[in-house]
Each structure stands twice: as structure tokens, then as C-alpha cells.
A and B are shown apart, each in its own frame.
Chain A
Amino acid sequence: MEAIDASLVDWSRAQFALTAMYHWLFVPLTLGLGVVMAIMETLYVRTGREFWKQTAKFWMKLFGINFAMGVATGIILEFEFGTNWSNYSWFVGDIFGAPLAIEGILAFFMESTFIAVMYFGWNKVSKRAHLASTWLTIIGATISAWWILVANAWMQHPVGMEFNPDTVRNEMVDFVAVAFNGGAVVKFCHTVVSSWVLGCVFVVGVSCWYLLRGRHKEFAHASIRVAAWFGLVASLLTAYTGHHSGRIIAEQQPMKLAAAEGLYEGGTQQGLVMAGVLRPGVDWAAPTEEDKMLLNIEMPYALSVLATHKVDGYVPGIRNILEGGYPLPDGSVALSAEEKMLRGRKAIEALGEYRDAEDAEDKAAALKALRENFAYFGYGYLKSPADLVPPVPLTFYSFRIMVILGGYFIVLFAGLLVLRQHVERWRLVQWGVVLTIPLAWLASQAGWVVAEVGRQPWAIQGLLPNVAAISRLETGAVQTTFFIFLFLFTLLLVAELGIMGKAIATGPETDKPAA
């Protein structure tokens, strides 16, 4: 019997991860810096001060350099759903394609039309029309993010669809559930506000660099003032939405939560790991004699409260999820992984029988069996319960990096606001802020690692594992394109950093007299 080459799945995943991670280097800066520069242009239109125009134009220049790379990597990402995940594209294309198309029609055209006016229209349209174009560019980018995150949230928690055995795919039955379910709303809010944080860290970092060099001081102080206020609000909102995101993960993706917490044995009154070190090389899918954690400093009861809003709420660990038998919030008892896989195989067999059946009675019987077991359909493609355990160390440490840095950004922005009169004199603080710039990207990437690595092996949670979502290609073809993309993206990233660095070194034209 033919079988899918496991290395093809791994390389396809690697290529998608590479593209997504590169794409996410640029998008959050677009979303964050876009709002900052739009605020500055608004100040220009309201006050009429040339200073604000030049300030806005400087940040726009950096925005444009970054935007181009976001666009370049984004197109690859969209089409990779077809090129590398063709089975996925059919199996759920009826639902998943819609957000991508709506993104193009509603958002991407808005963004690409008004960005041209924003860059080339300074002397061609009125001040207010230009300001509107700037805001519409960033609104377009944000709406674009909405639809992409709707699509991603749907992969994390598929809703609003039914399986059609005649077409052998899932079909949308409730658009509102797909586009506006709680998971999508929270994911959008958390992702966008955290991008604002990144944009603000970038602005205060670059501004502090000017203070260090003793140049463009008025520009630097003005930029710090705007970005620190905006950044503080955004980082508090990030923490708030992050909390809600955690609660949704607890409900919908308990394995991800267990991996993020390094929780092997679950139970009631669970504490939240504040600081922890995992024992290296441990098999997280099987019991071990040693404790799987070398160090574990917990906040008592906090995980139970986060996940269930109760001090004695039950939080399952990896072992519990694999072995089942624990009570679910709806009062039923969780099935073991083996049972889920068995029922998944029954669903797949029933689908085959349904398609082969010639008389109505056999068809009806097969359909009944398919419906009864469909909730576990995706489990039928898995080979072993261990396949259900995501890479725990990567998820665990990424989660800690994200949370710790998120807390640090709140302190940073609050500190800059309180002490902004003294920042100019404190070079150590200025250096600290400059060195914080890459940390914003680290936090952002870590967040996506938790979201995506933590839900492995699923392309669509519970419904379709990666192994069944793949395109039928030669592994060598995907390896080749992986390295082509790696080389090209890296080359262009280095070029972008060089251009950005030069533009920053040149600085804004705020010191020049108005024309």
C-alpha cells in the first residue's frame, strides 16, 4: 500500500514555518508603525506644524521599506496552502478560501490603493485626503489581518461547518460562526495589539538611538512621547487579551495548554509555572521515573483559575489527555487517545463504505456510522497516541519568553512616560531601550511558536492532521524550494536591514527649515 513519505510532511511543515516566520518579521511592524505614523500625520493636520509632517514622513519611509518585504513573503504564504497543502485546500477549501478572498476584496485593495496615495500623493491631493489615505492604508492592513486571523483561528477551532460525504469535504453552514467566533475575535485583538507594542518598541528604540548620538532630539522626544503612551495602552491590552486567549486555549486546545505549562500529570488546584526548567531529553508521551521538570516555581492555583475560573478547577495534563477518563466541562468523560483513534478509523472506513455502497440501505448505515464517529475523523490518520503530543520544550519556553517580555514592555513604556524628562541624561537607559528592539520581535515570534507548534500534529484541530493535508510531491522538490526561499528571504532581509539602518542613520528632515 502506498504511504506518505514522513520526510515530505516534515519539509512541507518546515517550508511553511519558514515562510510564516519571515512574514511575521514584517507584518507586526507594518501594523504597529502604521498607527504611530498615522497619529503623527494627524498631529500635522491638526497643528499645521511642518515638524510633525517630517516626523510622519520619516516613519513612513521605514514603513515602506518594511511593507515591501511583508507583501513579498505574504504572497508565498497564501499560495503555499495550494502548493504544499493541496489536500487541505480541498478538504476545507469551502470554508477556508472565503476569508482569503474577502481579505483581497475588502482589505488588500484598500491597503494597496491608498498606500500609493500616501507615498506619491503629498502634492497631488489635499492634506485631509492624504491623511485619510494614510489611515485607510493602516485600516486596510488591519482588516487584512482580521481575515487572515479568522482563517487561522478557524484552523485552531473549526466551527460553522458540516462534512459532506458526497463531495468528501467540509462545507460552511454558518459564516458568522466562522468569522466572528470568540477565538477569532480574541486572536485578532491579541495579535493586533501586540503588533502595536512591537511598533512602539521600534519607535522608542530608534528615538533613543538618536538621543545617544545627540541628534534629532526634538524628533526623538516627540516620537517617544507618542509611542510610549500608545505602547503602554497596547501592552496592557495585550496582557488582557492574552489572558482571554489562555482561557480559550484551555477550553479548545487542552494539549497546547499542557505543553505550554509542561504539565504531565493534571489535576485540580493547579499552579501556574512562573519559572521552570524542563528535564532535557524526556519523552513527554510516556511516564518516566524522574520528574519531567528540573525546576518548577509555581503560582498556586493560578492555572486552575486561568483555565476554569475556579480555584479547584480540573486542568488535564499530557498523560490525562492521552489516557482519558477525566471529567469534561459538559459532564461527559474524556476518551483516551486510543479510543479517539479507533473511532477516527471507524469514521474513515464508514466514508469508504458510503462511497462504495450501491443500495440506499448500505449507504444510510455507512452514513450513520460516519456521523457517529466524525468528531474523531482526523485521529484516524494518526499512527500512535504519541503523535498527539506537540514538541513540549519549544512550546514551554516560547510561552515563557512571550509572557516575560510582555510584562517587561509594560514596565518599559510606563517607565519612559514617568521618567521621560530624564531619559536624555541616562545613557544606560537609552542603550537598554535600543537593545529592546529585537526583544519585541522575539516575543512576537515566540507567541506564534506557542500558537502553531503547540497545536501539532493538526493542520485543523481534531479534524485533519498534517500528514493528511499534504500535497503529493517529491520530497526533493520541497527541499529545493525550502532552500531557495531560505536563501532569498535571508538575502532580502539583510538588504532590508541595510536600507533601514542607512535611513535611520540619515535621520528625519525635521531639523531642516520648511520649504
Chain B
Amino acid sequence: MIMDDISFLQHYWWFLVSLLGALLVFLMFVQGGQSLIWTLGKTEEQRRMLLLATGRKWELTFTTLVTFGGAFFASFPLFYSTSFGGAYWVWVLILLCFVLQAVSYEFQLKRSNLLGTNTYRVFLLLNGILGPLLIGTAVGTFFSGAEFVVNKAAVASPGMPVISSWVNPLHGLEAALVPQNLLLGISVLLLTRVLACLYFAENIADAPLKEMCRKRLVMESGFFLLFFLTWLVYLLFSVGFAVGADGSVYLEPYKYLHNLQAMPGVTVMLLMGVLMVLGGMLKGILGWKYAFWLAGPGTVLVVLALLLCAGWNHTAYYPSVADLQSSLTIENSSSSLFTLKTMTYVSFIIPFVIAYIAWAWRALDCEPITVVETEEH
């Protein structure tokens, strides 16, 4: 029975975690919007409209991040243990900038808020830039590797029972020194700004602001394509981390290109996603409707395809460059069959969750935001 096949469930949960990651990148248009507060918002009214537009959605992005973490923990606990406990500073920085976001929307316009409106907006700007940049850089290590060692036998050493240790004293910050990680981080940041421009243009009833979004879109799209395509080409021609039949990990040239050849469905998904993102950008620049709803799902497809490439087809999704055999694969880092099966039954509720999110989204975005509406909040 398929539900008793652990390999199927490991692949299924890698798909779900990847899907959550892809949705997170899409929903980080909120962060992209925050990073553009002063770039697009030339007047206080415009800034309020921009923040009201993303302010209705930030919790969804936040929740997706939390659920992404929870789902990773439940399905691949060794990743949670190794990466979070090792790449300490990167994750702490990511968390800190999300803490700042969580309070800033609520506090920024309130009276007696201690720090003043502009401070909270700077917090939002920081979250808008650092959030996507750091998450993109951290995800870059899924392809470039990280410096850790895992030794499960350590549990039997009462003096030092910790199974994973980070070899680099920078505890994750070293990821930012790897050019391809930075390229991905910058690409994610630029993509979130592209999506934000598209979202604002469709959801704010302010002609000068719409025009500004369209102009901004040209530049953001150009830079995004430059950075992202450079990273993608580098990835496809770089050495990847393959998993042998015995579970051992070895280096394989063109591994991710091979993965696309071996998984035509994923290749089609990637190409479709890229075309949709390009189509969305073009529609947005031309001022056509529904550009956001073309580029957004396109983003989900692209990110999903890339993350599937990182974990499926006998690939180590979290390679260790300090000890190749410590690399994490969906086989050696997953939860047990029982847990994966139980969680799979729970996952069947996801379509229902998506349905009510869609209802709420539609209900709140049925009319574009106006200056009058900002005064009510």
C-alpha cells in the first residue's frame, strides 16, 4: 500500500515542504513591499496605502514561515536539528527581523508607541530587505553545502551526547561569503520587490502610485533576471551532491542539470514558472490586469521545481562540505514511517485551508485601497 511505502512518503513530504517554501517566497511580496516603502511612497498618504496593502497580508506570510518550520521539523527533524542548531546566527538574524515585522504593522501608527512611526517603518524596511536576502542565502546552502558533521552515535557518549556540530565558527554567517548563495539571496529579494510592484499596481487606487510601480518594475525585473539567470546557469553547470544506492553521498558534475533531465515533470514546471514570471512582469510593465496573478503562481512553480531538484532524484538536499557522508538526504533525515503517515493524513486538510484563505483574500481585496480606507485604520 502506498501509505506504507516510506520512500513515497519521504518524497511526498519533501514536496509539501517545498510547496510551503515556494508559497513563502510568493507571499514574501509583503517583504518586497516593505523594502519599497520610501522608494514608491512619496507622500504620507501613499506610504499609508502601501502599508495597508501589505498589512492585510503579513500574517499569512508569517504563518507560512512558521508552518514551513513546523513541517520541516515534523518530516525531516535531522535538518531542524542540524541547521538550526548549527547555522545559529543566520537563523537568529532571520527570526529577529521577523520579530520586528510582527509588531511594526500594529504599532507604527499608534499613539504613544515609544519609538515613533518612522522607527517602526525602518523596522519594516529592515525586515523587507534582510528577510528575503537571508532566507535566500540560507536556501542557497541547499545547493552549495554547509559546514557540519553529524554523528548519531554521540548519543552513547554521556560526556558529549550532541550529534551534530558546526565546523565553521561563524555558525552560518559564512554562507553569505559564498557568491552563489548571495546571488540567490539577492534574486529572492529582487523577486519579492517585483511581486510587490505588481501587487500594489493592482490593489491600490492611486494613479501616480500605479505609474511609479510600473516604472519601478522595469528596473527590478531587469536586475532580477540578471541575478537569477546567472545563479540558475551556474547551478545547472556546477557539481552537485548525489546519493548512491547504498546511501553514500558523492560529488556529481552537472547533478542539477541531470535532475531536470531525469524529472521532465519538474523541468516543465520550472519552464512554465519562468514563463509565467516573465509574462507577469511584461503584463505589469504594460499596465495590464492580473499580472500579479500570473507572476505569483509562476514564482511558486519556479521555487517548487528548484527545491524538488534539491531533494528528489537521489540528491542530498543539505550537503555537508565538511564531511560528505554527514550530508542530509530525504532518506537519512526523515521522520519514521508512522509519523510521516500520520502527518500525511493531517495534510489532507490543506485544500480546505487554502479554500478559506482564498475566500478571505478575495473578501479583503475585492476593492482597491483608497486614501479614505487608510483613515479608517
- Is B one of A's binding partners? yes
Which B residues are CB-close (under 8 A) to A372?
none
Stretch at the interface among B42-50, B103-111, B211-219: B103-111
Q: Is the CB of B113 within 8 A of A498?
A: yes
Instruction: Report A-chain residues with C-beta under 8 Å of the C-beta of B115.
Output: 491, 495
Q: Does A91 contact B (CB under 8 A)?
A: yes
Give A154-198 interface residues, CB cut-off 8 Å to B. Answer: 164, 167-169, 171-173, 175
Pairs across A and B, CB under 8 Å, 19 listed: A75-B98, A82-B81, A90-B164, A98-B342, A100-B69, A104-B63, A104-B71, A105-B67, A105-B350, A106-B349, A112-B63, A124-B366, A164-B336, A175-B342, A355-B156, A472-B85, A477-B89, A498-B112, A499-B110
B16 CB → nearest A CB, Å: 10
Chain B residue contacts of A348, Cβ below 8 A: 155-156, 158
CA–CA, A164 and B103, complex, Å? 43
Across the interface, which residues of B come within 8 angstroms of A104, CB to CB? 63, 66-67, 69-71
The answer to whether A79 and B69 have CB atoms under 8 Å apart is yes
Across the interface, do A101 and B70 meet the contact criterion of CB distance under 8 Å? yes
Residues of A within 8 A of B353 (CB): 105-106, 109-110
From B82, B86, B110, B159, name the one whose CB has the most chain A CB atoms within 10 angstroms. B110
Interface of B, helix, strand, loop or mixed by DSSP: helix
Residue A328, interface by CB 8 Å = no
Most buried by B among A79, A173, A477: A79
CB-defined contacts of B82 to chain A, threshold 8 Å: 86
Kindly list 8 other residue pairs between chains A and B, CB separation below 8 angstroms, not including A1-B157, A471-B85, A502-B111.
Answer: A76-B95, A82-B81, A89-B77, A112-B63, A167-B336, A351-B155, A495-B114, A496-B103
Contact of B77 among A2, A67, A97, A471 (CB under 8 A): A97
Say whether, besides A115-B59, A121-B364, A380-B158, A93 and B111 are in contact (CB < 8 Å): no
- Chain B residues at the A interface, C-beta cutoff of 8 Å: 56-57, 59-60, 62-63, 65-67, 69-71, 73-75, 77-78, 80-86, 88-89, 91-92, 95-96, 98-99, 102-103, 105-107, 110-115, 152-153, 155-166, 169, 171, 335-336, 338-339, 342-343, 346-347, 349-350, 353, 356-357, 360, 363-364, 366-367, 377
Question: Does A336 count as interface, using CB distance less than 8 angstroms?
Answer: no
Instruction: State the Cβ distance, A20 to closest chain B Cβ, in Å.
Output: 15
Nearest CB on A from B291, distance (A): 23
Cβ-defined contact, A352 with B339, below 8 A: no
Report A53-73 CB contacts with B as 1/0, cut-off 8 Å.
000000000001101110111
The CA of A440 and the CA of B110, in the complex, are separated in Å by 26
Seen from chain A, the residues whose Cβ lies within 8 Å of a Cβ on chain B are: 1-4, 64-65, 67-69, 71-76, 78-79, 81-87, 89-91, 93-98, 100-106, 108-117, 119-121, 124-125, 129, 133, 164, 167-169, 171-173, 175, 345, 348-349, 351-352, 355, 380-381, 468, 470-474, 477, 481, 484, 488, 491-492, 494-496, 498-499, 501-503, 506
Complex contact A473–B85 (CB within 8 A): yes
Residues of A within 8 Å of B63, CB to CB, are 104, 108-109, 111-112
Bound complex: CA of A352 vs CA of B112, how far in Å?
Answer: 60
In the complex, are the beta carbons of B89 and A97 less than 8 A apart? Answer: no
A217 to B82, CA, bound (A): 57
| A residues in contact with B357, CB < 8 Å | 109, 113
| CB–CB B346/A4 < 8 A | no
A82, B73: Cβ atoms under 8 Å? yes
Give the residues in chain A near B160, CB-CB below 8 Å: 1-4
Q: Determine the chain B residues whose CB is within 8 A of the CB of A71 once the complex forms.
A: 59, 62, 102
Check if A93 sits within 8 Å of B80, measured CB to CB. yes
Residue of A with least CB distance to B347:
A105
- Chain A positions within 8 Å of B155 at CB level: 87, 91, 168, 348, 351, 468
Residues of B near A97 (CB, < 8 A) are 70, 73-75, 77, 80, 335, 339
Tell whether A2 pairs with B114 under 8 Å between CB atoms, given A82-B84, A89-B77, A94-B339. Answer: no
Which residues on the A side are within 8 Å of B356 (C-beta)?
110, 113-114
Point out the residues of chain B lying under 8 angstroms from A81, CB to CB. 73, 80, 84
Q: Are B363 and A117 in contact (CB under 8 A)?
A: yes
Residues of A within 8 A of B99 (CB): 72-73, 75-76, 488, 492
Q: Are B73 and A3 in contact (CB under 8 A)?
A: no
Report the separation of the CA atoms of residues A117 and B56 in the bound assembly, to the nearest whole angstrom.
9
- Is the Cβ of A113 less than 8 Å from the Cβ of B60? yes
5 closest A-B pairs by beta carbon, nearest first, are A86-B85, A93-B77, A82-B84, A104-B67, A352-B156
- Point out the residues of chain B lying under 8 angstroms from A495, CB to CB: 103, 107, 113-115
Residue in chain B with minimal CB distance to A501: B112
Closest beta carbon of chain B to A30's beta carbon, Å? 13
B161 & A89 in contact (Cβ 8 Å cutoff): no
Rounded to whole angstroms, the CA-CA distance of A228 and B107 in the bound complex is 30
Which residues of the other chain, A, contact B110 by a CB distance below 8 angstroms?
A: 65, 499, 502-503
- Complex Cα distance, B68 from A75, in Å, reads 12
- CB pair B60 A72 closer than 8 Å: no
Q: Which of A164, A492, A503, A506 has the most CB of B within 10 A?
A: A492
Q: A164 to chain B: which residues have CB within 8 Å?
A: 336
Closest Cβ neighbor of B98 among chain A residues: A75
Q: How many whole Å from B4's CB to the nearest CB in chain A? A: 15
Q: How far is the CB of B246 from chain A (nearest CB, A)?
A: 16
Nearest-Cβ distance from residue A487 to partner chain B, whole angstroms: 11
Bound: A222/B66 CA distance, A: 38
Collect the chain A residues with CB atoms within 8 Å of residue B84's CB: 79, 81-83, 86, 89, 471
A343 smallest CB distance to B (angstroms): 13
Distance in Å from the Cβ of A402 to the closest Cβ of chain B?
A: 29
A121: min CB distance to chain B, Å: 6
Would A93 and B95 count as touching, CB distance under 8 A? no
Question: Closest CB-CB distance, B175 to chain A, in whole Å?
Answer: 15
Asked if B153 and A168 sit within 8 Å, CB to CB, the answer is: yes
Q: Which residue of B lies closest to A116 (CB)?
A: B56
Residues of B within 8 A of A83 (CB): 84-85, 88, 91-92
Q: A108–B71 Cα gap in the complex (Å)?
A: 13
Shortest CB distance A27–B (Å):
14
Q: Contact partner of A171 among B80, B157, B164, B336, CB < 8 A?
A: B336
A122, closest chain B residue (CB):
B376
CB distance from A187 to the nearest CB of B (A): 20
Q: CA separation between A33 and B153, bound complex, in Å? A: 49
Instruction: Tell me the minimal C-beta distance from B67 to chain A in angstroms.
Output: 3
Given contacts A79-B91, A108-B66, A488-B96, contact A87 B156 (CB under 8 A): no
- The interface centre, meaning the residue of B59, B342, B350 with most chain A CB atoms within 10 A of its CB, is B59
Contact indicator A89/B360 (Cβ below 8 Å): no
Complex: A73 Cα to B100 Cα, angstroms = 10
When distances are taken between beta carbons in the complex, the residues of chain A under 8 Å from B161 are 4, 87, 381, 468
Which residues of chain B have C-beta atoms less than 8 A from A2's C-beta? Answer: 159-160
